[in-house]
C-alpha cells in the first residue's frame, strides 16, 4: 500500500490502496468511477489522514494559466492544480495586485474557493470571478460566477451543496488595475502607504515567524476556525473575563480561537506525539511520531475545555479523514 505521509503536511504515517496523479479531468473521471471509495486531494495542507484510508486517493496536478484584460481589470484563469503561493508570487511579478496578503498559504488553487482561504484582511472570494468544475457523476462542465459561490468565512457552496459532487478544474480571478492595498490587519497596519511587494514580503515574514514550517515540523496550519460570536455573547465575555480581542464580522464579532486556547492553558501542552505549538496555540504539531488518536484526543480536549469555560464551540478548519472518508469531531 502506498504511503500518504508525504502527501499531507501533518505527516501521519497513513496509507491507502492506490494514489493517482491526474493531469486531465477526463482521466480523473475515468479512474474515479473505477473505485467505490475515493478521496480527492490537492496540496494536502488542509487535510489530515488519521489512519489508513481504505480506498484510492486522487492528487490534482492540472496546470495552466491564461490572461486577458479589460479597461479596469486583469482577468486570469488558473488550473486548479497550480500551487497557490507560486501563483501569488507570479501575479506580483506580473504587476497583478490583490492577492499579496495571501502569500505563503500552502495548498493548491483548487482549494482556494472551497475554503475561501483568507489571511490578513483579505479572502480569496473577494477576487474570484468564476469557478469552473466537472460534475463527477455526469461529466458535465459547469461554471459558477463568484457571486453564486456563497462565499463566507472559510466557507462556500463547494463545502456544502456541491461537496463531494464536483472536481474544480479552473478558477478565474479578477484583479483591479488600480492598486488598493489592504493593511487593516495586525502588523500590516504599521506600514505606511506600502507597495504590493512590501505587503507580500511583510506577510511572508510574519507567517514564517509565527507558523512552523510543515517540512520540518508536521502541521496543518490553523487547526480551528476563529469563532464568530453574537455581539451580546462577546459583551458577556468581556464583562466576565476583561479584555477579549475581537473584530467586526458582519453581524457578529470574530474572536481569535488562539486566544481561547491560550487562556485555557494549552500552549505547549502535549498529548502523545501531538503538541499545541508553544508560540501559536492555534497550530497543532506532529512533535513526536503522533498518531491519529493523539490528534483526536488533543482536538477534542481543546474543544471541550473552551466550550465549558466560554460557551464557545470551536470547529476544526482542517479536514479530518478516517478509513472511509471525511469525519467530524
For 25, residues 6+ apart whose C-beta sits below 8 A from its C-beta are 62, 134, 167, 169
Contact (Cβ atoms closer than 8 angstroms) between residue 315 and residue 224: yes
Q: Would the CA dihedral through 256, 262, 264, 267 be positive or negative?
A: positive
Closest CA to 83 of 106, 101, 61, 108: 108
Is 140 considered catalytic here? no
317 in catalytic set: yes
CA angle 309, 314, 319 (to 5 degrees): 155
- At residue 133's C-alpha, the angle toward residues 129 and 135, to 5°, is 150
- Residue 124 grid cell: 480569496
Which of 134, 154, 275, 319 is labelled catalytic? Answer: 154
The catalytic residue among 51, 54, 174, 317 is 317
Angle, CA of 113, 42 and 157, to the nearest 5°: 25
Cα dihedral value 74, 98, 318, 247, nearest 10: -140
Backbone angles phi, psi at 134, to 5 degrees: -105, 135
From the list 45, 222, 275, 319, the catalytic residue is 222
- Known catalytic membership, residue 319: no
Query: Taking a C-beta distance cutoff of 8 angstroms, is the pair 21, 42 a contact?
Result: no
DSSP state of 226: P
Catalytic residue numbers, as ranges: 154, 222, 317
Amino acid at each position: 500500500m502506498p504511503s500518504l505521509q508525504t502527501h499531507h503536511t501533518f505527516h501521519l504515517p497513513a496509507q491507502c490502496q492506490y494514489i493517482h496523479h491526474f493531469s486531465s479531468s477526463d482521466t480523473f473521471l475515468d479512474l474515479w468511477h473505477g473505485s467505490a471509495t475515493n478521496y480527492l486531494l490537492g496540496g494536502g495542507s488542509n487535510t489530515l489522514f488519521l489512519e489508513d484510508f481504505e480506498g484510492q486517493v486522487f492528487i490534482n496536478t492540472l496546470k495552466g494559466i491564461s490572461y486577458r484584460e479589460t479597461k479596469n481589470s486583469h482577468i486570469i484563469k488558473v488550473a486548479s492544480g497550480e500551487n497557490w503561493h507560486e501563483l501569488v508570487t507570479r501575479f506580483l511579478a506580473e504587476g497583478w495586485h490583490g492577492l499579496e496578503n495571501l502569500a505563503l498559504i500552502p495548498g493548491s488553487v483548487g482549494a482556494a474557493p472551497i475554503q475561501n482561504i483568507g489571511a490578513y484582511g483579505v479572502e480569496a472570494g473577494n477576487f474570484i470571478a468564476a469557478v469552473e468544475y466537472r460534475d463527477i457523476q455526469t461529466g458535465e462542465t459547469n461554471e459558477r460566477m463568484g457571486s453564486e459561490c456563497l462565499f463566507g468565512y472559510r466557507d462556500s457552496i463547494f463545502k456544502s451543496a456541491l461537496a463531494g459532487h464536483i472536481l474544480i478544474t479552473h478558477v478565474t480571478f479578477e484583479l483591479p488595475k488600480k492598486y488598493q492595498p489592504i493593511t487593516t490587519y495586525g502588523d500590516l497596519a504599521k506600514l505606511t502607504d506600502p507597495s504590493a511587494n512590501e505587503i507580500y514580503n511583510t506577510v511572508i515574514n510574519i507567517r514564517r515567524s509565527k507558523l512552523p514550517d510543515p517540512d520540518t515540523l508536521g502541521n496543518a496550519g490553523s487547526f480551528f476556525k476563529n469563532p464568530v460570536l453574537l455581539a451580546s455573547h462577546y459583551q458577556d465575555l468581556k464583562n466576565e473575563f476583561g479584555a477579549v480581542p475581537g473584530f467586526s464580522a458582519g453581524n457578529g464579532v470574530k474572536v481569535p480561537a488562539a486566544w481561547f486556547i491560550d487562556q485555557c492553558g494549552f500552549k505547549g501542552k502535549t498529548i502523545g506525539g501531538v503538541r499545541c505549538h508553544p508560540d501559536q496555540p492555534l497550530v497543532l504539531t506532529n512533535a513526536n511520531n503522533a498518531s491519529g488518536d493523539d490528534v483526536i484526543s488533543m482536538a477534542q480536549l481543546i474543544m471541550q475545555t473552551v466550550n465549558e469555560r466560554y460557551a464557545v464551540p470551536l470547529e476544526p478548519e482542517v479536514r479530518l479523514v478516517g478509513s472511509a472518508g471525511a469525519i467530524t469531531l
